[in-house]
Structure 1
Amino acid sequence: MNDRILSLLGICKRAGKLITGADTTIDSIRKSKAKLVIFANDFSKSSKKSVQTAADECNVKTLTMNRSKEEIGFALGKICGVMTTEDKGFADKLEQLIENESGGELYDKI
C-alpha cells in the first residue's frame, strides 16, 4: 500500500489506538481520550453532525480526508466512515499528512 495516510491508520489500529464508528468515537470524545477525529469524504451528513457536535463541545479537532469509506475499509479490514485516534503522536502525524494532502486547506465543518 503506497497511501501513507491509510498505512498509518492501519498501524494505529494494530497498536490499539484507533477507534472506529460513530457511537464509539463519540464515547471516546466524551471520555476525553480522542485526540483527532477523522471523517471519510462520503460519511453521511446526519451521522457527521452528531460526531461533530460532540467534538466541538470537547474541543477535539476534526478533519475530513479525501478517502471513501470503501478505501478506508480496504486498509483497515472494516468499512467505517468516522474514526478517532487516542494517541497524540498518531494524531499529530495524521493531521500533518491530511493537511499536506489538501494543500493546508481543511475541509468545512458542518
Structure 2
Amino acid sequence: MDGERIVIVEGITDKKKLNKVLDEEIEIICTHGTLGIERMEEMILDHNLDDRTVYILVDEDDSGYKLRKQLTEELPHAEHIYIDKAFREVAATPEPELARALLSRHFNVKSIYLI
C-alpha cells in the first residue's frame, strides 16, 4: 500500500476528537455505525480504499466490534488502532491516551497531548 493514509471511525464526534489530537492532515471518514453491503462498496470505491493505507479506529463496544469485523472482512489490508476498553468510546478517550494510540501507528500528534 503506497496510497495516502485514511482513518475510518464510527461517528462525527470521533472524527472531531481525532482532528483535535492529530498534527497532520489525514482524511477521516465516518461510517455512522455498521454498513450495508451497498454502502460498504460505495465507501470503498468513493475513497479508493483498496489502494490506500487504511486504519480502523472504532469504539470498544458491541457495535464497534461488529463494525471492525465487517471492515476487516472487506479491507483485509487495513491496520487497527485500539483504544483502552476502559474508555469504551473513541470520543470519550482522553486526548493523551488517543495520542499514544495514534503515535503507535506513526501519526503526527500535537505535542501538547504528549505528557
Shared fold per TM-score greater than 0.5 = no
Larger radius of gyration: 2
Q: TM-score, normalised by structure 2?
A: 0.40
Q: TM-score, normalised by structure 1?
A: 0.41
